[in-house]
Amino acid sequence: MTLIEDKRRLRGVMVARRRALGEAHRRAAAAHLRAAFLDEKPFALPAVVTAFWPIGEEIDVRPLMRALVDAGCRLALPVVQGKRQPLVFRAWSPGDELEAGVFGTFHPFSHREALEPDALLVPLLACDSEGWRLGYGGGFYDRTLAALRARRRVTAVGVGYDEQVVDAVPHGPEDQRLDWLLTDRRACAFV
């Protein structure tokens, strides 16, 4: 199998695994995620932090986003600029309206200020013990992390359910490793 085929196969497995989680599990996971973050604090607060508006069965990071605002952080949400382009992050505060983006996403309106993050909360389909992340296949976060890391130090925190941790994620030279993993059951740094 090629790298693309390996990733496609694992994506299918992980989407089904995440979809199988019950609604009660999902609700509890959001609270546990917030607590795991506050216990470990993977980056210094306050900071400029990018998060993501959860879509489908993604873990709900909104309680964590509220805790970050309460800790003095500035938040931003990602905006897809186009195919093969890095993401841009626009300022967002709880209560701000969002507009629909591509791939079922929601993001701040175009008049909102673009921010460069100190830390990124990165959605994932799978993550392994080495910090390799499997996303949806567009490469947006990999391109964005590569560009940010070329300019400055940033902390990339993969966020998902603990059920999304796997033995190995197929990866190639364009893939970017995470610095931390944050789930509803753990927070751990990758060395």
Domain containing residue 112: 3-189
Q: What backbone phi and psi angles, to 5 degrees, belong to 75? A: -110, 150
CA-based nearest residue to 34, from 178, 184, 164, 190? 184
Is the peptide bond prior to 46 cis by the omega test (within 30 degrees of 0)? yes
Domain count, the chain: 1
Q: pLDDT of the chain along its 191 residues, tens only?
A: 799 999 999 999 999 999 999 999 999 999 999 999 999 999 999 999 999 999 989 999 999 999 999 999 999 999 998 888 999 999 999 999 999 998 889 999 999 999 999 999 999 999 999 999 999 999 999 999 999 999 999 999 999 999 999 999 999 999 999 999 999 999 999 97
Which CATH number goes with the domain that contains 166? 3.40.50.10420
Residue 132 near residue 62, CB atoms below 8 Å: no
CA distance to 39, 89, 166, 167, per residue, from 163 (Å): 20, 28, 8, 11
